[in-house]
């Protein structure tokens, strides 16, 4: 039977054992496709373990530039016997199962609606190498070679990547080439090579980059001028600090003295980490921490202090599946409420929701300006999917003429010329934001006492209910100021008037926008969309909801947390917001969103009742 050839549009998944060096081979494969000018979105699905458990790497290849997960697998590369039953079951009809046939597939696993291609990689490696570690490592390179033949890829691109990888260790290049070529030759000799899925060179990548969100956040902190960082290791946020460290070492080490223009403290726990950040920020340094859900829980008390005492604090939360330890290596958007209202008492915390590496970079850099301008914690809510997976993105940009906004800080000279009494929490400008002084500024003026207890405008302790209310109202006023300074929503309107909308945020963006394209293409359903970029919500978000009869809210948690936040903040009728929820720990797929919205629209004969107040 002659099969239709599908070029540059497929999903391939690798099933490996963790700790066997497969990650770099898989990355080599996906990077080669990227270099051939075709957009890719790789996703690592890994266990909370160092060695010996199943791990997967899923790559969507799509020349149209759809970067969300599509749903379904076309090609499975089965290298792990432990997970083979599950892996083979996951394939779409007509898919390919390419596996290590050193031990042939048992009959009862065989599916007849797919093509099975067995290549005895392990056996070949046993013959070629004596050393056990070499057998394991080169087997990975070998299957990349085979895939190059089966998908009809450009071997020269892969070789160039190997050359780049081993720059400085040239001795390793040739053995890698050898394993690669061996894999290529074995597959090339197979009767069904190349298969129906092919990779052809395109020019669809342009100047885009492939970077993970954590590296972009780490870079954002370098460019945003963070000089103090304190943290406690936690998956999936650790590489934010690793990258901050890497780029600081490169750019912030004094070439003459070798001394560091930065300080990174690995704290004893998350409580101490955020305490150090607050101490440093209080003392005038831009400082930040990175953490994930359990760390956020621990940091809650201090976040309340930073809110109430008004200390600029930057925190990157790379969310993972909760509650509790949850699924620590799986993604979710499930800290929305706990961050928005972090800490006891009445609090509202500024949160930013980046969707791409470029936004991770920009939001993190901007967070320091916002924190110092607003004198309050700023939380960047990334997640494991964005933070730890290479994601195609617009290149990062910086404007050299940009100066940091250090907010309202009085200098020694300001204080010297000041006749009136300094009041730390006086709303002099009517925007709810007072003037700060750094410790050590002036011998007799401008000192004040920072405290988590109630205080008056002059930072003097008070238990007066009236003063307390005044202060809390001023904090609300500052909150309104914040809503105009934070990143504004991204609104896309269809060309026709439209009664239904979709709201998404963070990593639900790519899959949602793709789903909308297909909904129109397949079902002629067009929907307006809005991407939330920050809390406090800008007026535009309320307006968008107001303009539509009902609005889907796409998110990756069980309890529709953003929907709750919208309902709570706008006092909305809950029926107007329809939840689209995905929370099994894998990134949400375009297919899932499309089906959910399609089914809802088709099932809903009458529109939800719209209550007016």
Partner 1 sequence: MSYKIPTFRHPNLPKNDLGFTSKDYEGAVSTLCAGCGHDSISAAIIEACFEMSIPPHRVAKLSGIGCSSKTPTYFLGNSHGFNSVHGRMPSVATGANMANRDLLYIGVSGDGDTASIGMGQFIHAVRRNVNMVYICENNGVYGLTKGQDSATTDMGSISKKGEPNPLEPIDLCAISLQLGASFVANSFSGDKKQLIPIIKAAILHQGFAFINVISPCVTFNNVPGSTKGYDYIRQHMASTNTVDFVPPADEITTEYDPGTSEQVTMHDGSVINLHKIDDELDIHVRRSALKRIKDYKMEDKVLTGVLFIDEESKEVHETMNTTDVPLRSLTEKELCPGAASLEDINNLHR
The verdict on 408 binding partner 1 (CB under 8 A) reads no
C-alpha neighbours within 13 Å on the C-beta side of residue 448: 26
Which tokens hold the place of 248?
Answer: 């600081």
Residue 266 host element (H or E): strand 263-266
Told to check if 269 binds partner 1 by CB under 8 A, we report yes
Residues 447/416, Cβ–Cβ less than 8 Å? no
- Using CB under 8 A as the binding rule, whether residue 441 contacts partner 1 is answered as yes
Segment 73 to 112, residues that bind partner 1, using CB under 8 A: none
Cβ–Cβ under 8 Å, residues 262 and 248:
yes
Among 48, 106, 192, 261, indicate the residue that binds partner 1 (CB under 8 A).
261
Task: Return the number of the residue (450 or 526) whose C-beta is nearest partner 1.
Answer: 450
List the interface residues with partner 1, window 340-399 (CB under 8 A): 395-399
Q: Which of 71, 78, 183, 275 binds partner 1 (CB under 8 A)?
A: 275
User: In the complex, what is the shortest distance from the CB of residue 59 to partner 1, in angstroms, rounded to a whole number?
Assistant: 17
Please tell me whether residue 468 binds partner 1 under the rule CB under 8 A.
no
With contacts defined by CB under 8 A, name the span among 47-55, 186-194, 344-352, 437-445 that binds partner 1.
Answer: 437-445
Binding residue (CB under 8 A) for partner 1 from 17, 33, 153, 305: 305
Q: Looking at beta carbons only, is 454 or 540 nearer to partner 1?
A: 454
442 scored as a contact of partner 1 (CB under 8 A): yes
The 10 Å Cβ neighbour count of residue 400 is 4
Contact between 265 and partner 1 by CB under 8 A: the answer reads: yes
Among positions 224-243, residues that touch partner 1 (CB under 8 A) are 225-228, 230
Nearer to partner 1, 361 or 550 (CB): 361
Give the C-alpha separation, 286 to 312, whole Å. 8
For partner 1 (CB under 8 A), the number of binding residues is: 78
From the list 94-102, 273-281, 319-327, 476-484, the region that binds partner 1 by CB under 8 A is 273-281
For residue 98, CA distances in Å to 69, 124, 141, 144 come to 21, 16, 15, 11
Residue 21 in the binding site for partner 1 (CB under 8 A): no
Per CB under 8 A, the list member of 107, 400, 466, 495 interacting with partner 1 is: 400
Q: Which pair of tokens denotes residue 557?
A: 């948690």
CB proximity list for 483: less than 8 A, separation 6 or greater? 536, 537, 538, 539
Which residue of 29, 97, 121, 282 would you call a contact of partner 1, by CB under 8 A? 282
Helix (H), strand (E) at residue 315: strand 313-319
DSSP line for 535-586: ESPPHHHHHHHHHSSEEEEEESSSS-HHHHHHHHHHT--GGGEEEEE--SSS
Minimum CB separation from partner 1 for residue 264, in Å?
8
- Nearer of residues 131 and 207 to partner 1, judged by Cβ: 207
Q: Which of 144, 152, 147 is nearest to 200 (CA)?
A: 152
- Whose Cβ is closer to partner 1: residue 222's or residue 510's? 222
Alpha-carbon distance of 84 to 89, in angstroms, equals 8
- 262 counts as binding partner 1 under rule CB under 8 A: yes
Residue list 195-224, contact with partner 1 (CB under 8 A):
205, 207-211, 219, 222-223
- When asked if residue 124 is in the footprint of partner 1 (CB under 8 A), the reply is no
Strands, DSSP E only, in 26-146? 40-45, 54-62, 73-78, 91-100, 115-119
Kindly report the CA angle at 81 between 80 and 87, in degrees rounded to 5? Answer: 75
Structure tokens at 503: 């709201």
């Amino acid at each position: 039977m002659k099969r239709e050839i599908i070029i540059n549009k497929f999903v391939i998944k690798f099933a490996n054992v963790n700790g066997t060096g497969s990650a770099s081979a898989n990355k080599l494969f996906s990077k080669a496709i990227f270099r051939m000018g075709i957009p890719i979105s790789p996703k690592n699905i890994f266990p909370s373990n160092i060695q010996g458990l199943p791990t997967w790497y899923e790559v969507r290849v799509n020349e149209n530039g759809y970067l969300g997960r599509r749903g379904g697998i076309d090609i499975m590369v089965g290298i792990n016997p432990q997970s083979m039953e599950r892996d083979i079951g996951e394939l779409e009809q007509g898919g390919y199962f390419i596996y290590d046939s050193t031990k042939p597939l048992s009959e009862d696993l065989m599916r007849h609606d797919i093509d099975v291609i067995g290549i005895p990689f392990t056996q070949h490696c046993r013959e070629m190498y004596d050393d056990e570690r070499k057998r394991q490592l080169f087997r990975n390179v070998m299957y990349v070679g085979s895939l190059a033949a089966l998908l009809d890829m450009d071997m020269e691109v892969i070789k160039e990547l190997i050359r780049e990888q081993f720059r400085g260790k040239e001795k390793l290049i040739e053995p890698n080439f050898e394993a690669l070529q061996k894999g290529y030759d074995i597959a090339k000799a197979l009767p069904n090579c190349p298969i129906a899925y092919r990779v052809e060179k395109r020019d669809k990548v342009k100047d885009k980059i492939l970077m993970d969100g954590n590296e972009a956040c780490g870079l954002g902190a370098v460019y945003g001028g963070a000089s103090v960082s304190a943290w406690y290791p936690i998956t999936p946020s650790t590489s934010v600090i690793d990258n901050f460290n890497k780029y600081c070492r490169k750019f912030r080490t004094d070439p003459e003295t070798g001394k560091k223009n930065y300080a990174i403290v690995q704290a004893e726990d998350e409580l101490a980490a955020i305490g150090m950040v607050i101490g440093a920020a209080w003392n005038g340094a831009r400082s930040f921490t990175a953490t994930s859900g359990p760390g956020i829980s621990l940091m809650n008390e201090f976040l309340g202090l930073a809110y109430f005492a008004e200390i600029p604090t930057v925190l990157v939360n790379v969310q993972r599946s909760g509650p509790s330890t949850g699924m620590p290596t799986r993604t979710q958007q499930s800290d929305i409420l706990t961050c928005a209202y972090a800490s006891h008492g009445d609090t509202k915390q500024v949160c930013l929701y980046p969707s791409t590496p470029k936004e991770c970079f920009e939001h993190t850099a901007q967070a320091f300006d916002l924190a110092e301008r607003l004198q309050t914690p700023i939380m960047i809510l990334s997640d494991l999917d964005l933070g730890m997976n290479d994601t195609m993105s617009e290149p990062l940009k910086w404007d050299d003429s940009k100066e940091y906004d250090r907010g309202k800080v009085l200098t020694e000279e300001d204080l010297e010329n000041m006749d009136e009494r300094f009041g730390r929490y006086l709303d002099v400008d009517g925007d709810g934001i007072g003037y700060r002084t750094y410790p050590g500024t002036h011998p007799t003026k401008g000192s004040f006492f920072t405290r988590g207890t109630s205080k008056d405008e002059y930072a003097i302790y008070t238990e007066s209910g009236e003063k307390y209310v005044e202060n809390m109202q001023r904090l609300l006023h500052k909150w309104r100021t914040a809503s105009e300074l934070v990143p504004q929503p991204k609104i896309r309107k269809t060309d026709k008037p439209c009664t239904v909308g979709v709201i998404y945020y963070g990593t639900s963006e790519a899959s949602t926008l793709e789903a909308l394209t297909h909904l129109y293409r397949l079902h002629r359903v067009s929907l307006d969309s809005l991407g939330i970029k920050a809390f406090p919500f800008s007026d535009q978000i309320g307006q968008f909801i107001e303009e539509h009869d009902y609005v889907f809210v796409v998110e990756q948690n069980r309890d529709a947390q953003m929907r709750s936040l919208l309902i709570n903040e706008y006092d909305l009728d809950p029926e107007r917001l329809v939840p689209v929820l995905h929370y099994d720990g894998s990134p949400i797929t375009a297919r899932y969103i499309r089906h959910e919205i399609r089914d809802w629209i088709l099932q809903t004969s009458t529109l939800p009742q719209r209550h007016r107040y």
